[in-house]
Amino acid sequence: MVKAAYVHIPFCEYICHYCDFNKIFIQNQPVELYLDYLQTEIVRVMQTHDKQELDTIFIGGGTPTALNEAQLTQLMTTISRHLLPSNKNIEFTVEANPGDLSYEKMRLLKSFGVNRFSIGVQSFEDRLLEKIGRVHRKNDVLRTVEDAKKAGFDNLSIDLMFGLPGQTAEDFERTLDLALALDVQHFSAYSLIIEPKTVFYNLVQKGRLPLPPQEEEARMYELLMSRMEQAGFNQYEISNFSLPFMESLHNLTYWNNEEYFGFGAGAHGYVNGMREVNAGPLKKYMALIDESGSPITTRHKVTEAERMEEELFLGLRKTAGVSKQVFKQKFGQELTDVFKSPINEQKQKGLLEEDESSIFLSVQGRLLGNEVFQSFIGLS
């Protein structure tokens, strides 16, 4: 049963220097035509599924709020008709940039049932925002959060980044001070990862990107965990913190290794045991829908061994870890039998802990999560 849907809007007003998501400058693009094809994809998929089963919808990008009000109305009408359940309240999130989320757009989105924003703040240091290619500034964030509250939103998430070029732990602490003063319900905080085909990747290749040393980045992460705990936020996943009962249901779908729809150019989905990837370029996405009725370019049937591995390296992102009981229910085998060797190895390193009900990362393990995850791949 598929309980989550992701919808991708690839258009942006500008391109951030670190971003490797499927995106394109919105100027002179066939936005309305893309939204027509997106509707076609959604309608065809949902003909064989029940939208009433959905518990969460997430519209990401790109920058969904780069769309104008008429385009947003077109998009939201499609989602309201073909994805949004009519018999229950669900978590309905839109990814937003502080610079282009106007009060009018907020009210429009709320009228269609959107009840959560994920706001791409990244930093409250204007000089760092400029370095990473963001065009909003600190005051834009303050206005956006204030307007969202006025518009009736009481489930707001803020994205932060650390390990940025030229960033110090003191910079990050000032950002945390301002972020925690905003009275929002959720934070996602990620270290900068240099991805191929980005501006930052090219600068690194040329030796022109001054990144903080690993020790300073680790200090920022430790500071993050400490400050969030002091403020009453629960670290329920390596990079995510929430007030009680305000966890992101959509992201938990991924970490719980559950299935989800992926709609739009470049979107990924996981349906009926198949991991699927849509064409990324707009022309190819639309052409495939015309030619075959589906924009999917890659399908992979997930084997039982792969499912077990995914259960581990996705589930261990959660601070609660991987449940032994749930693993046994899903796979009919004991977790500690299937992965006995890597579990013992990572426990000896002090990166993994175990109790009667689950295995989970130690605090030190959260700093070295990728090393732990890698140890579970190719062994089951």
| Closest to 86 in 3D by CA, of 113, 59, 107, 46 | 113
Q: Where in the chain is the domain with CATH 1.10.10.920?
A: 306-374
Looking at the chain, the domain(s) classified CATH 3.80.30.20 span: 4-255
CA 49 to mean position of chain CA atoms? 24
Buried b (16+ CB within 10 A) or exposed e, 175-204: bbeebbebebbbbbbbbbebeeebebbebe
CB 188 within 8 A of CB 10: no
β-partners of residue 323 are 358
CATH number given to 4-255: 3.80.30.20
Strands 268-271 and 261-263: unpaired
Give the CATH number of domain 306-374.
1.10.10.920
pLDDT in tens, the chain (380 residues): 999 999 999 999 887 888 878 889 899 999 999 999 999 999 999 999 999 999 999 999 999 999 999 999 999 999 999 999 998 999 999 999 998 899 999 999 999 999 999 999 999 999 999 999 999 999 999 999 999 999 999 999 999 999 999 999 999 999 999 999 999 999 999 999 989 988 888 988 988 889 999 999 999 999 999 999 999 999 999 999 999 999 999 999 999 999 999 999 999 999 999 999 999 999 999 999 999 999 999 999 999 999 999 999 999 999 999 999 999 999 999 999 999 999 999 999 999 999 999 999 999 999 999 999 999 988 64
Tokens of 62: 């790109």
Prediction pTM value: 0.96
Around Cβ 354, how many Cβ atoms within 10 Å?
Answer: 16
Name the residue with tokens 């969460």: 56
- Cβ neighbours of residue 129 closer than 8 Å, sequence gap 6 or more: 122, 123, 135, 136, 137, 138
